Amino acid sequence: MRLMQRRAVSAVEVVLGLGLLLALAVPLYQMLTAGRAMGFRSRLAYMAVHAAREQIEDARVAAALAAPAELRALAHDWRPVAGPMMAALAPLARATDFAGLDYPAEYARIFTRLEIGAPVPGGLHPATLIVRWQEKGEALGEAEAREREGTSRFDFLLGPPGAAR
């Protein structure tokens, strides 16, 4: 009788098998959800840096077209990246229509602030563009969303085309 082959599975073997399966599944699930969240954050960070680069280029073009007295008027406090992409150029490019070149709606989670300092010798103005973006949350103002913001700072010089760089 002892040599008979056992065909049944005991409850202890079932519990141990499920525990082993669970011990493998939980880290895998956590790795997948963390990868998804990181992908979302890196996507927003990329969009924010892209929007910042566009605004720096707009400021440089506007500085080339504007009179030196108008240059400091390009500065702005926190505002969402929304509406026409080249809004800073609209007052200077009088005949150009920027309709249809709007930022996508998801860029509204990105805010910028442009500071333009007093001119230094050589006619250049030191400028700082700070970009802030919301990494999580469905709507602005959510408690979770406010705790997860990213920020980048870009320092550059603005001035007329012939200014010493």
Q: What is the pLDDT of residue 143?
A: 54
Q: What count of other Cβ atoms lies within 10 Å of the Cβ of residue 158?
A: 24
- Edge-to-edge strand ranges of the sheet holding 149-158: 76-80, 110-116, 125-134, 149-158
CA dihedral 33, 35, 37, 41 (to 10 degrees): 180
- Is residue 153 pLDDT above 70, yes or no? yes
Of 149, 144, 140, give the one whose Cα is nearest residue 108. 140
The DSSP H or E segment spanning 133 is strand 125-134
- Is residue 23 pLDDT above 70, yes or no? yes
